Amino acid sequence: MATEPSALAQVPTHPGHTLAHIARIVERAVATTELSLSQYRVLATLGEGQEAASHLAEKLAVSRPSITGVVDGLVARGLVHREHASCDRRRIDVGLTESGRALLARADAAVEERLERIGQLLEELPR
């Protein structure tokens, strides 16, 4: 977190640059819970409900092979599970395990804490 105050002194002027900067801050926050930004995005999306892997890839705007790799890693860690959909045995749904929900909650808290701190620092800047 020590790098944020100095980074705030050089606030980007383009909205895209600002979003990229915020993404990096979120990435650092979720790293404290041993998640990558990609893994966090998957967990956050699955926190809204189970998804077919293909729909998950579409929602996250990534390729199917990319989502497969991320999901494989999360399955190996016991954070998500795969199961055949009852309505269509060809479809494989992905959902959070209890461990996944717990880790998502910790990652969300880390992100909130980091963003709150940045908000406090912004309030301290002279206007």
The model's confidence at residue 1, banded by pLDDT at 50, 70 and 90, is very low
Q: Which domain holds residue 85?
A: 3-124
Apex 111 CA angle, 122 and 59, nearest 5 = 115
Distant-in-sequence, close-in-space partners of 32: CB < 8 Å, separation ≥ 6: 110
For position 102, which CATH number holds? 1.10.10.10
Per residue in 98-111, pLDDT tens?
999 999 999 999 99
Question: How many domains does the chain fold into?
Answer: 1
More confident call, 122 vs 79: 79
Tokens of 11: 């606030």
Give the model's pLDDT for residue 8: 52
